[in-house]
Structure 1
Amino acid sequence: MRRDKQVLVFDADDTLWENNIRFERAIEAFLDEVVPPAPSRAAGRSALDAIEAANAATHGYGSQVFLRSLGECFEQLHARPATAAELARLEALAASVRGAEVELIPGVAETLAALAERHELLLLTKGDRTEQQAKIDASGLAGRFGAVHIVPEKDVAAYRRLTEEHALVPERTWMIGNSPKSDILPARRAGLNAVFIPHQHTWALENDVALDPQDPGVLRLAAFTDLGQHF
């Protein structure tokens, strides 16, 4: 049964378009660079994950923070700074995650068009403002949203600010995304409903918390196109 006239707040990366797969490809190439010094690929990835978590907490997100993490991990595993040639290679890997093209997840454009006829749509994404805006512009989806918000972090405070700015009614507002850590749990703690649409390439640091399977305020869907059946 469809819900009438709701406010639907959408995540962007890996909800509307592919994103983390670019980082995964860059990381696989990076691991080619650091394993033999690392005991194994798994050990190299674990070291990088820990460095990324620390840098995200301090410096935020985006390709420049990713480059910082690659450099620090390289230095840690090799026990020396990268040479100029090696640094250029790391810079190329970091640059590869910034693409001029945006690959929409199948059915996103059509589903958003249909939902916009029945509901109010907002976009809430986190990360480097310039890089996120470039992806939004390239997606061709900006016109579907009544407002677009790019924030440093999607925490409870961010959802409360969004609620206040748009005078949202929590009972009929839904945060839709693929990340338990950034999309679902903080939205629920701010009093909003949530729709969890898992993605096979969700960043490990965004997927390392469990959702309550009994939470009635969380709707779980298998695909983005399933939204049309509920809203």
Structure 2
Amino acid sequence: MRRDQVLVFDADDTLWENNVVFERVIADFLRWMEHPTLDTAGRRAVLDEIQAANALTHGYGSRMLVRSLGDCVASLRGRPATAAEIDGINELAAVLIDHQVELVPGAAETLAQLSTRHRLFLLTKGHVEEQRRKIDSSGLAPLFEAVEIVPEKDDATYRRFINAYGLTPAASWMIGNSPKSDILPARRAGMNAVFIPNDHTWVLEQTELDRSDTGVLHLRALTGLVGHF
């Protein structure tokens, strides 16, 4: 166990459950949006492609999903979504606004223990107001030296973050569930990383990791951090 390191945490699906709620909305939408030739997997593929495009221009979060569902209706129906269909989408997505933050098991206790011997930061991407609401609801903010909400977590984001807080990359660890946003860009920026998989990680955040990369620690649960840091 090494002390006085920098631990940078992802938020959604690392400290609290998030995408599982999005997946429930998507499952309800796909059942509702029947198609004469496309099965559920085919309709999901259309939606995934639309979300990937919308994320580039509209960011992440519930607003992007609602927009994507409307665009998916237009794509599958060959016409703009009707007012009734938009109302149906908003009804399906209402749970995203009302959803209460559910911390992963041991999150608060783990962070509290780690904060006694390391510098902790929170780095999350998404819509600022939406992410701020979840952070405030979690009650975890006081445990972090700083909290940043960014539109994207790419190589440039991590390099800027390192410079902004005067971090030593070799003594810094990015901790998260997303290979695409948490692990790979942090490694390219020179940081170490801890990969904690979540069964509900968004499909567009998934990609293969090199298991031979000694700069990535693989853990089964967040609570496992206290045995390494």
Q: Name the TM-score class by shorter chain.
A: over 0.9
CA distance in 1, matches of 2:9, 2:176: 6
What is the match of residue 191 of structure 1? 190
Shift of 1:69: 0.4
SS in 2 for 1:97: helix
Runs of 4+ that moved beyond 3 A? none
Shift of 1:37: 4.0
CA distance in 2, matches of 1:77, 1:96: 24
Return the TM-score normalized by structure 2: 0.97
What is the match of residue 217 of structure 2? 219
CA distance in 2, matches of 1:68, 1:31: 15
Shift of 1:96: 2.0
Shift of 1:163: 0.3
Shift of 1:95: 2.9
Q: Which runs of 5+ in 1 are unaligned?
A: none
User: Is 1:174 equivalent to 2:141 in the alignment?
Assistant: no
What is the match of residue 32 of structure 2? 33
CA distance in 2, matches of 1:135, 1:37: 39
Shift of 1:146: 0.4
What is the match of residue 63 of structure 1? 62
SS in 2 for 1:39: coil
Return the TM-score normalized by structure 1: 0.97
Could you tell me whether the CA contact under 8 Å between 1:56 and 1:65 is conserved in 2? yes
CA distance in 1, matches of 2:37, 2:187: 40
Could you tell me whether the CA contact under 8 Å between 1:108 and 1:225 is conserved in 2? yes
CA distance in 2, matches of 1:95, 1:161: 35
Q: Deviations over 1:34-87 (max 9, x none)?
A: 123452000010100000001111211121111110001011112222221211
Q: Deviations over 1:154-198 (max 9, x none)?
A: 001110111001100111100000000000000000000000000
Greater mean deviation of Cα atoms: 19-28 or 32-41 = 32-41
- Structure 2 counterpart of 1:59, which letter? H
What is the match of residue 7 of structure 1? 6
What is the match of residue 44 of structure 2? 45
- Structure 2 counterpart of 1:101, which letter? Q
What is the match of residue 87 of structure 1? 86
Shift of 1:100: 4.8
- Structure 1 counterpart of 2:188, which letter? R
SS in 2 for 1:158: helix
CA distance in 1, matches of 2:32, 2:137: 32
CA distance in 1, matches of 2:61, 2:201: 15
Aligned ranges 1:47-196 → 2 under 5 Å? 47-196=46-195
The percentage of counterpart residues that share the same residue type is 60
Shift of 1:25: 0.3
SS in 2 for 1:212: coil
Could you tell me whether the CA contact under 8 Å between 1:8 and 1:173 is conserved in 2? yes
- Structure 1 counterpart of 2:88, which letter? R
SS in 1 for 2:190: coil
User: Is 1:229 equivalent to 2:221 in the alignment?
Assistant: no
Once superposed, what is the RMSD of the aligned Cα atoms? 1.0
Could you tell me whether the CA contact under 8 Å between 1:175 and 1:187 is conserved in 2? yes
CA distance in 2, matches of 1:18, 1:57: 23
How many residues matched? 229
SS in 1 for 2:212: coil
